[in-house]
């Protein structure tokens, strides 16, 4: 009796010791991976020369870049900047229970917080981000943080407003509330840095939860897309004036494939999960990111953007892009400008749609010289969120039925805002012989039901997936939503989708097989950890990680352990996020 009690006590004591050791080993793993990345990044940064070094030989492109929204994605707040861009001061704005206003003291912008208790605090603005629609301002916080201040400046109205409140989502069935402006999601070092500065090192210290963040240049510089230029400059100098070296020693974006172009832009213009650090010029999107799709309520059920989701998801729904080699730089310059502004706006759709462009009023049912006869007015309608405009990149035509079904915006009523969606739908049915809205409405209804856990139309979803009726985004969305479905009829479909041509779909399908322990699935996952794309390998490794290592034969064990190592590294791409530690602990 006493001996039995002793054994039970011994094992009770062992449990917290084991948990403690696991936590410590996880922290050590994060620090090791973090330091390894930091050392590699330091070596790479030494090869960067900065955008100024491009100016002597590439003056035209340098000047186009220098004043672009990419070049000015982040700037220091100086007296010159304030005088040129900020024209409102001492305007009181309510933020929660506190009041803020912005004052100018010499060449410094101060954000003054007046609490209801009477306490007054002053926060100096040291950097600013944005400029096309909004300027956001950063102030130093303890631990090396740069925090986004709660008032943002609207460049159009030249006024200040409550920024956290402007980001409130109006989900279909979920209540949302503004974040406190001190929340970590408003910390530059955690959230904003990827797309506003170049060649950055966060230098996050897990031991004391602090940063010593540095960057080569503010804004998105030349070397972000072309890679380090030091060797390029040396090669050109050695070749002599007027001579072009055989090896330019730099990434030439003119040689990019469509996928590389889209990946370069998508590295910033996407709502995505980061799966690997330090996106490299010429790299592929699905080696560094996993795209968020319609399983997320930040999209309407028909796929329209509800919040600020940065283009890539709707671009993946674009039938023109899917059927051609079209890419971002066909319509935009590398500095972010639109190539078809002004009178020749519809040239963007030539030559594929020359018949419609040359007879535009016959297609648009509007005056040929009106804004409504520009292709982008109906096929890329602009919606506004958080005081910024976003163009829908799915290129779908106006769909007032989707407004009626899901509350999503449609191009007709964005212009004719005093009219109803029913009015717009009636006109479309009178002018268009083909009922083109049906597919989107049917698919959207299936997405909505799946989000709610309603599997009454599971057969339609599975049949659609089997027959390839859905695009990559809808397919991925259904796969992810089906992880919450317990019906075993899904397994054969999920398995077959691991052979899909899209890495986004293959990755989602591999992930969905994590609770299927059949020998066939196991063998397929072993194949997928050798996939060309990291997003597929990682999702396959995740699925395999639910199996005991004893189930893996010796001949496969080294390969599987290598896959687990890559998967573990993907979990801590952001070691300053609680979710990294949570996911690592689960793993």
Residue 260: other Cβ atoms inside 10 A: 18
3-state secondary structure of 38: helix
Q: DSSP for 246-274? A: SS--S--GGG--HHHHHHHHHTTSS-EEE
Separation between Cα atoms, residue 88 and residue 204, nearest integer Å? 36
The dihedrals phi and psi of 369, each to the nearest 5 degrees, come to -100, 5
- Distant-in-sequence, close-in-space partners of 395: CB < 8 Å, separation ≥ 6: 318, 319, 320, 321, 379, 380
Contact predicate 288/275, CB 8 Å: yes
The residues near 257 (Cβ < 8 Å, ≥ 6 apart) are none
CA distance 200 to 37: 12
What confidence score (pLDDT) does residue 307 get? 85
DSSP state of 279: P
Greatest distance between any 2 Cα atoms in the chain: 95
Confidence (pTM): 0.89
Closest among 471, 477, 415 to 440, alpha carbons compared: 471
- Rounded (10°) CA dihedral 401, 402, 407, 408: -130
Give the whole-angstrom CA distance, residue 411 versus residue 391.
11
Listing DSSP states for 181-211 in one string gives TTSGGGBIIIIIGGGTEEEEE--EETTTTEE
What is the signed CA dihedral for 374, 376, 377, 379, rounded to 10 degrees? 120
Averages of pLDDT over each 10 residues, the chain, 587 residues:
40 49 50 47 67 94 93 96 97 96 97 96 97 96 98 97 93 89 94 88 93 94 94 94 93 96 95 92 97 96 89 96 95 90 88 92 91 93 92 96 96 96 95 92 98 98 98 98 97 98 98 94 96 98 88 90 96 91 91
Cα 318–Cα 410–Cα 429 angle in degrees, nearest 5? 95
Length in residues, the chain: 587
**Given the structure tokens 């462009």, which residue do they identify?**
357
DSSP state of 453: T
Cis upstream peptide for 356 (omega within 30°): no
Task: Give which of 302, 296, 297, 306 is closest to 446, Cα–Cα.
Answer: 302
Neighbouring C-beta atoms of residue 241, cutoff 10 Å: 7
Q: Which two tokens stand for residue 340?
A: 């078809």
Q: Are 214 and 203 in contact (CB under 8 A)?
A: yes
Domain ranges within the chain, ordered by starting residue? 1-46, 72-220, 258-439
Q: N- to C-terminal Cα distance for the chain? A: 38
Q: For the CA atoms of 306, 311, 315, 321, what is the dihedral angle to 10 degrees?
A: 150
CA distance 575 to 404: 43
Cα gap 140→478, rounded to integer Å = 43
Cα–Cα distances (Å) from 185 to 188, 205, 270, 360, in that order, read 8, 18, 17, 45
- Which residues make beta-bridge pairs with 109? 104
Count of C-beta atoms within a 10 Å radius of residue 433: 6
Taking a C-beta distance cutoff of 8 angstroms, is the pair 372, 415 a contact? yes
């Amino acid at each position: 009796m006493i001996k039995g009690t002793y054994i039970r006590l011994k094992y009770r004591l062992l449990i917290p010791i084991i948990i403690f050791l696991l936590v410590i080993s996880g922290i050590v793993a994060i620090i090791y991976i973090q330091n390894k990345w930091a050392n590699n990044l330091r070596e790479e940064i030494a090869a960067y020369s900065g955008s100024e070094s491009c100016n002597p030989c590439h003056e035209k492109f340098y000047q186009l870049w220098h004043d672009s929204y990419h070049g000015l994605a982040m700037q220091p707040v100086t007296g010159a900047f304030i005088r040129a861009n900020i024209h409102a001061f001492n305007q009181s704005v309510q933020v929660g229970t506190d009041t803020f206003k912005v004052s100018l003291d010499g060449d410094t912008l101060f954000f003054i917080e007046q609490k209801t208790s009477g306490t007054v605090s002053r926060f100096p603005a040291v950097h600013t981000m944005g400029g096309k629609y909004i300027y956001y301002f950063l102030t130093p916080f303890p631990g090396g943080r740069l925090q986004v201040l709660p008032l943002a400046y609207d460049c159009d109205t030249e006024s200040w407003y409550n920024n956290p409140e402007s980001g409130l989502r109006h989900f279909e069935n979920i209540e949302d509330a503004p974040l406190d402006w001190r929340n970590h999601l408003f910390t530059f070092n955690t959230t904003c840095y990827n797309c506003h500065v170049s060649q950055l090192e966060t230098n996050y210290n897990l031991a004391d939860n602090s940063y010593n963040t540095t960057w080569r240049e503010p804004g998105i510089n030349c070397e972000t897309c072309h890679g380090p230029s030091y060797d390029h400059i040396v090669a050109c100098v050695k070749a002599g004036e007027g001579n072009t070296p055989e090896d330019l020693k730099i990434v030439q974006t003119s040689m990019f494939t469509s996928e590389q172009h889209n990946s370069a832009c998508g590295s910033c213009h996407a709502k995505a999960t980061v799966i690997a650090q330090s996106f490299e010029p010429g790299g592929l999107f699905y080696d560094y990111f996993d795209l968020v799709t319609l399983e997320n309520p930040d999209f309407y059920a028909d796929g329209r953007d509800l919040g600020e989701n940065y283009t890539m998801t709707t671009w993946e729904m674009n039938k023109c892009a899917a059927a051609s080699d079209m890419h971002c730089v066909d319509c935009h310059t590398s500095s972010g400008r639109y190539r078809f502004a002004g009178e020749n706006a519809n040239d963007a759709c030539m030559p594929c749609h020359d018949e419609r462009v040359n007879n535009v009023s016959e297609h648009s049912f509007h005056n040929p010289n009106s804004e409504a006869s520009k292709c982008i007015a109906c096929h890329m309608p602009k919606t506004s969120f958080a005081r910024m405009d976003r163009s829908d990149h799915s290129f779908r035509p106006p769909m007032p039925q989707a407004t009626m079904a899901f509350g999503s915006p449609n191009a007709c009523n964005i212009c004719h805002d005093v009219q109803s969606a029913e009015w717009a739908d009636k006109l479309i049915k009178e002018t268009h012989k083909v009922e083109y809205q049906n597919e989107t409405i049917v698919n959207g209804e299936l997405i909505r039901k799946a989000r709610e856990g309603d599997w009454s139309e599971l057969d339609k979803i599975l049949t659609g997936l089997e027959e390839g009726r859905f695009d990559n985004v809808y397919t991925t969305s259904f796969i992810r939503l089906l992880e919450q479905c317990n019906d075993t009829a899904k397994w054969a479909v999920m398995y077959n989708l691991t052979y899909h041509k899209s890495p986004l779909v293959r990755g989602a399908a591999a992930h969905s097989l994590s609770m299927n322990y059949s020998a066939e699935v196991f063998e397929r996952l072993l194949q997928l950890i050798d996939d060309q794309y990291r997003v597929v390998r990682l999702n396959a490794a995740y699925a395999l990680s639910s199996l005991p290592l004893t189930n893996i034969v010796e001949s496969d064990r080294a390969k599987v352990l290598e896959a687990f190592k890559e998967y573990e590294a993907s979990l801590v791409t952001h070691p300053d996020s609680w979710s990294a530690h949570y996911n690592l602990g689960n793993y």
